[in-house]
Amino acid sequence: MFPKKGFLRKTTQLKNLIQSSDLEFIMEAHNALSAQIVEEAGFKGIWASGLSISAALGVRDNNEASWTQVLEVLEFMSDKTDIPILMDGDTGYGNFNNARRLVRKLEQREIAGVCLEDKLFPKNNSFINSEMQPLADIQEFCGKIKAAKDTQRDDDFVLVARTEAFIAGWGLEEAMRRAIAYADAGADAILIHSAKAHVKEIEAFMKQWDKRIPVVIVPTKYYSTPTDLFRKMGVSLVIWANHNLRASVSAMQNVCQQIFEEQTLLHVEEEVSPLGEIFRLQGADELKDAEKKYLPTTGKSFNTIILADSWGDDLGEIASLIPKAMIPIQGKTVLSTQIENYQKMGIKDLTVVRGFAKETVTYTNVKTIDNDKYMKNGSLYSLYLARNEIKENTVICNGDIIFKSHVLHTLLIDENDITLIVDADSCINDKHKRYFVKTSEPYSRKLMDKPVVFQEMAHQFKDKVNHGEFISLWKVNKKGAEIVRNTLEELSKHEKFKKMTLADLLNEISKTHPIAVKFIKSSWLDIYTIVELQKSGSFDNFFEPVSPEMMEEMGKTGGQKLGAEGLNQSGGLSLYQKKFLDQFQQGILSNQSLKKLMDNLPQEVFSEPQKQYNSLFNMAKMKKYFDYFPNPMKLLSELPKNETEKE
C-alpha cells in the first residue's frame, strides 16, 4: 500500500491511534459519504460498522450481506478518505481460511485493520438475545488470529480481537481468560464489549488487565458514562459505533413524514442540506479542475456548432417525421450521441442549427438557431446563420454522423488554423452526395505528423481520383474563425449564395489560406450507412421509428397515441401527415392544422393552390381518403394568402 503524498500509511495511522498514550476516538460510517463526513468532522479514524453497513444495505446484522458485498462498500469508503478504517469483521466470515483471505483483500483496498469477534458464524448482533449467543472455542479463535496475522503483508496492519464474554453472560473470569489468550495469539488490541447500561463490567476488566495490550471499548449502552472515566481506566480507543446511521434514519423518517403529510417541500427545504453541499461532498469542483488539467480542451475555450437542419427526404419514411440527426441508433438519437461525445471532452458550449421538424430538437443547455428556410437554402446558409458562434477553437460538424472519441481528440489537439477530418478508407459509391477531397499527398503510414494540405472538394472529380471522404467534421482556431466568418460574409453577397454548400466555402478559403487535413481510417458512420446497417440487423438494438418512448424523446408525442404499427403500416404516408388526415376525417382539422400538414410536404408543391390541391388529392388517394376531401380548394382558399403561396 502506498500512502498519498504527505500522509502516513493508513495502517500506520491506525496503529498509532491504538498505541497512543492519550485516549483516542473513531466514528462509525457506513458508506463513502458518511466516511467523508467523519473525516471532515476531525476524527482520526473510521469504524466500518457491520450493523450500520448491513442496515444501509437493507439486511439484518446476521452476515446476510456477504463479505464481498461489505468489501465493496469499504472500497468506496477507503477511496474517499485519507484516515484509517477499522473494519467490523464479525467472525471473519468463517474459519481461519476465510479470515486470512479477508485480510488479504482488506490490505489491497487500504483498509487499515479488522476487528474479529469470538462468536460463531453466522453471527447475531450483540444486543439481540445476547446471553443466548454461543462463543467460539478459544483455541479455534486463537488459530484464526494467528492465521490473520501471518497473512498480513504490512507490519502495521491492525487486528483487534473482540471478546463477547460479557455479552454472553459468562462473566469477568471468562472475559479475562479469553482476552489473555487472544493477546498471546498475536492480537494488536482487545475490544471488551458490554451490553450493560453501566460501566462496571468494563471497570472490573480494566483493573485486572494491567495494560497487556491496548483496550478498545464501545460505549453504545453505557453512553452516560463520563469520558474522563475511560481515560482514568486506561482505555486506548473509544468507538462511537452506530450514531451516524441512527441520526440519518431519524432525519429521513422526519423529512419523509413531513413531505407526505404536507405535500409540499416548502417547510423542509431549510432543514435539509442544500444541493451545493451534496455536490461539494461528491467532489464536483475537483472534476472541473481535473477536466481543465487533463482534457484536450485544457486552457482553451472550445465550442461546437452542429448543423442538424436537414430533412432526410432520400431516406424515405424513416425520416419523414424527424430530422436526420434525430434518427435513433441503439436507444439514442444520432444527435444525442454527438452531444455526449463533446461533453465528455469538456466541450459544454454547444449550438445546434435546426430546420426540418425543429420542435423535435430540444436539449437542455444547448443553444439553438433556426433555419426556417432549410428547403430553399443550401447547407452553407445554416452555417452562415451561426456565424457569430464561430469563435476561437470552434468545432463544426453535421448532426447526422457519429464518430469514435479518438477522432474528436485528434481534431481538438491539432493547432492548424482550419483542420478537416478526412476518411482515407472511404470508397463508397452510392446515390448520396458525399464530399470527397484532394490533398497535397495521399494518406500513407509514413506521413506521421507531416502536414497534409487540402486542395479541392467536390462530389466527384473529373479524373475520378480523390484522397478520401470529408466526414463533415472540422475545426477552426481564432485565426481560422476570422477567415471563415469573413469568407462567409463575402460569399453572402453572391446572388447564388443561398444555394451554396460547404464545399464552396472551403474551396474559396483554400485559394488564399491553407487548410490542414487529418486522415483517419474509418471510425465514423454517416446516417445513410447507419440506416443500412440497422436495416440489415447489424446493430444489436434495431430501432422502432415511432415507438412511444422514442417519440417522447423527440418531443413529438404531445399525448398522442401513435400506435405500435409504425411507419411500415402507413402505406407510404407518414404518421405525422396521417394524423391530420385522420383529424380531417373526424371533422376537427383546423386551417392551422392544414397548414402544418402542407408544411411537412416538399415545398416545391406550394407554388400555387392547384398544386397543393393535387398533393392533398394524391395523399388522400393513397389512403383512400378522397371521400373526406369534398372541396379541398375551398379550405385552401380560406387560408391567408401568404400561408399558401411560396415565398
Q: What whole-number distance in Å separates Cα of residue 77 and Cα of residue 522?
A: 43
Q: How far apart are CA 240 and CA 223, in angstroms?
A: 9
Q: What is the dihedral of CA 125, 131, 133, 137, to 10 degrees?
A: 120
Q: CA 285, CA 306: separation in Å to the nearest integer?
A: 28
Residue tagged active-site, from 61, 118, 309, 417: 61
Q: Are 133 and 102 in contact (CB under 8 A)?
A: no
Asked whether 381 and 300 are in contact (CB, 8 A), the reply is: no
Distance between CA 641 and CA 609 in Å, rounded? Answer: 10
Q: Is 88 a catalytic residue?
A: no
Extract the runs of DSSP E, i.e. beta strands, from 243-299: none
Could you give the CA distance from residue 275 to residue 341 in angstroms, rounded to a whole number? 27
Distance of CA 412 to the CA centre of its chain: 22
Query: What DSSP designation does 608 have?
Result: S
DSSP 8-class letter at 459? S
Q: How far is CA 78 from the centre of its chain?
A: 22
Distances (CA, A) of 97 to 100, 147, 154, 264, 440: 5, 8, 19, 54, 69
Distances (CA, A) of 70 to 33, 50, 76, 580: 15, 8, 10, 59
In a 3-state reduction of DSSP, which class is residue 212? Answer: coil
Helix (H, G, I), strand (E, B) or coil at 422: strand
Q: What does the buried/exposed string (b/e) look like for 436-461 if buried means 16 or more CB atoms within 10 Å of the residue's CB? A: bbbbeeebeeeeeeeebebbebeeee
Q: Determine if the peptide bond prior to 328 is cis (ω within 30°).
A: no
Q: Helices marked H in 455-501 — which ranges?
A: 478-492
Whether the upstream peptide bond of residue 122 has omega within 30° of 0, thus cis, is: yes
What are the distances in angstroms from CA 225 to CA 210, 229, 246, 516?
21, 7, 20, 77
* Residues facing residue 314 across a β-bridge: none
DSSP code, position 431: S
Give Cβ neighbours of residue 231 (< 8 Å, ≥ 6 apart): 23
Q: Alpha-carbon distance 275 to 293, whole Å? A: 26
Rounded Cα–Cα distance for residues 477 and 412 (Å): 10
Residues involved in catalysis: 61
